[in-house]
Chain A
Amino acid sequence: MIGPQELAFLGQGLMWTLALTAIGFTGGILFGFLVALARVSPIRWISALAAGWIALFQGTPLLMQLFVVYFGLPLLGLAPPAWGAVAVALTAHASAFLGEIWRGAIQAVPKGQSEAAHALGLDYRARMRDVILPQAMRLSLPATIGFLVQLLKGTSLAAIVGFIELTRAGQIVSNQTFRPLLVFGIVGLVYFALCWPLSLWGRRIESRLAAATAR
């Protein structure tokens, strides 16, 4: 049966799921910002490098990214704890996806805006910081929230490399109790309780933005 002990074990897994999501998302925001800026850079090779980074992460499975980082870091002489390796992989993954989302948003800001800023004598930094990025942030919010949901679900793949987060905890409890449907039902419900409000929030912002641009 599923007793308090099993539930506590799942709760511990949940903590790791939340921690991995938080680390991956925070790291992804920081590096994704750099990726987006590099991607729209007027300097050709910088933008090509960012495009390659994005294509690499969008063209391969997240599971492979986890495997390669997890088993690759030790070859480089680094020996991070398991959660560290997973966090590095999720951060790199998130930086590529968020970078691409924000690239789209930056380019969706009407060209006249940056031309006007140019005409006012603002330099590149001021144009980006005070004119383009604030508008791009607003435009990209629904997609960014959508990716957060994607990342939260993606942390479950850490289970396959053996890291005990929510899904792996569920697998272990399921193997001990022989109640797979009940256990994965509970695990699924927990993910749903986390992701659904985020999805609804993202959709609300999206329709509000759509209404604003329609006006």
Chain B
Amino acid sequence: MVQLDFGVVLERWPELAWGTLGTIWLALAGMTLALVIGIAGVAVLRGKSRIGHAIVRTFVEVIRNTPFLVQIFFIFFALPLAGIRLNPTATAILALGLNGGAYAVEIIRGGVDAIPQGQTEAGLALGLRPSEVFRFIIIKPALRSIYPSLVSQFIMLTLTTSIATSISAYELTSVAQRIDGDTFRTFEVYFTITVIYLGISWLMMLMFAAIARRAFAYPTR
């Protein structure tokens, strides 16, 4: 019978706690960037620029049809060649934002397309500028209607942060690999952080529910 020893793993709780914070930071920063890219992408798709459309469409299809691990390696090696020096954690945030952004474009576009044309026209008729119409009349109700899909995509993004260990970004999985290297308690280490990840995704869901209560509490009819 194999003896499990969680003691030597739990003893390293300060590192696990910092790693957890690192993961949450990667996730929140990645989500923010993804949301910005998503909204910007949808704005371009609603615009008239043919080239803009082609760029956004290609970006979305390429990102959605290749593995994140390959994307993060590519970005990790491409940035220095482009003369951009970023630490692994910043690189990981960029990769997470680009990846999540491609999915966000697709999700938000679905919500925006569902907004009746008349609503936009009414906004313009009231004398709002096109940018104000986009912000208040299109994006906000669209985000409200696609909120559940966006949340599950963002939970997915949170879990994807674990892959950032492959470029040694600072987060929970890389901390776990270090503890594993010191203690050789491989199973115990990964079991422990799996439980922590479960807690993190649960925490994220609570956070998104709280945001929904605040941001989308207005009546619609």
A84 within 8 Å of B (CB atoms):
no
- A175→B78 CA distance, assembly (Å): 15
In the complex, residue of chain A having the shortest beta-carbon distance to the beta carbon of B69: A156
Is B61 a contact of A167 with CB atoms below 8 Å? no
B125 CB, min distance to chain A CBs, angstroms: 30
Is A71 a contact of B70 with CB atoms below 8 Å? no
A72 within 8 Å of B (CB atoms):
yes
Interface string of A155-193 (1 = CB under 8 A from B): 011011000000100110010000011001101100110
B193 within 8 Å of A (CB atoms):
yes
**In chain A, residues 56-101, which have Cβ atoms closer than 8 Å to a Cβ of chain B?**
56, 58-65, 67-68, 71-72, 75
A149 within 8 Å of B (CB atoms):
yes
Specify which of A59, A156, A196 is in contact with B70 (CB 8 Å cutoff). Answer: A156
Is B73 a contact of A72 with CB atoms below 8 Å? no
B81 within 8 Å of A (CB atoms):
yes
B194 within 8 Å of A (CB atoms):
yes
Given A59-B201, A187-B70, do A181 and B77 touch, yes or no (CB 8 Å)? yes
In the complex, residue of chain B having the shortest beta-carbon distance to the beta carbon of A193: B65
- A67→B188 CA distance, assembly (Å): 11
Given A60-B201, A180-B77, do A167 and B71 touch, yes or no (CB 8 Å)? no
Is A196 a contact of B74 with CB atoms below 8 Å? no
**In chain B, residues 181-221, which have Cβ atoms closer than 8 Å to a Cβ of chain A?**
186-187, 190-191, 193-194, 197-198, 201-202
A161 CB, min distance to chain B CBs, angstroms: 10
B70 CB, min distance to chain A CBs, angstroms: 5
The interface on chain B, measured as residues whose beta carbon lies within 8 A of the other chain's beta carbons, has a size of 36
A51 CB, min distance to chain B CBs, angstroms: 14
Specify which of A63, A67, A154, A171 is in contact with B73 (CB 8 Å cutoff). Answer: A171
Is B70 a contact of A61 with CB atoms below 8 Å? no
Pick from B29-37, B41-49, B157-165 the stretch touching chain A.
B157-165
Residues on B with beta carbons closer than 8 Å to the beta carbon of A180: 73-74, 77
B45 CB, min distance to chain A CBs, angstroms: 16
B62 within 8 Å of A (CB atoms):
yes
Is B162 a contact of A195 with CB atoms below 8 Å? no
- A195→B67 CA distance, assembly (Å): 10
B131 within 8 Å of A (CB atoms):
no
Specify which of B69, B160, B202 is in contact with A59 (CB 8 Å cutoff). Answer: B202
Is B61 a contact of A184 with CB atoms below 8 Å? no
B166 within 8 Å of A (CB atoms):
yes
Interface class of chain A by DSSP: helix
Residues on B with beta carbons closer than 8 Å to the beta carbon of A144: none
Is A62 a contact of B159 with CB atoms below 8 Å? yes
Contacts across chains A and B counted by CB atoms under 8 Å: 108
Is A184 a contact of B77 with CB atoms below 8 Å? yes
**In chain B, residues 1-33, which have Cβ atoms closer than 8 Å to a Cβ of chain A?**
2, 4
Most chain A CB inside 10 Å of its own CB: which residue of B67, B77, B173, B201 = B67
Is B197 a contact of A188 with CB atoms below 8 Å? no
B57 within 8 Å of A (CB atoms):
no
B217 CB, min distance to chain A CBs, angstroms: 27
Residues on A with beta carbons closer than 8 Å to the beta carbon of B74: 180-181, 184-185, 188
Residues on A with beta carbons closer than 8 Å to the beta carbon of B170: none
Is B162 a contact of A63 with CB atoms below 8 Å? yes
Residues on A with beta carbons closer than 8 Å to the beta carbon of B67: 153-154, 156-157, 167, 191
Residues on A with beta carbons closer than 8 Å to the beta carbon of B69: 156-157, 159-160, 167
Residues of B within 8 A of A (CB): 2, 4, 61-62, 64-71, 73-74, 77-78, 81, 155, 159-163, 165-166, 173, 186-187, 190-191, 193-194, 197-198, 201-202
Q: Can you name 14 A-B residue pairings with CB atoms under 8 Å?
A: A58-B155, A60-B194, A63-B165, A63-B173, A71-B186, A72-B191, A153-B66, A156-B70, A160-B166, A167-B70, A167-B73, A181-B78, A185-B74, A188-B66
Residues of A within 8 A of B (CB): 56, 58-65, 67-68, 71-72, 75, 149, 153-154, 156-157, 159-160, 167, 170-171, 174, 180-181, 184-185, 187-188, 191-192, 195-196, 199
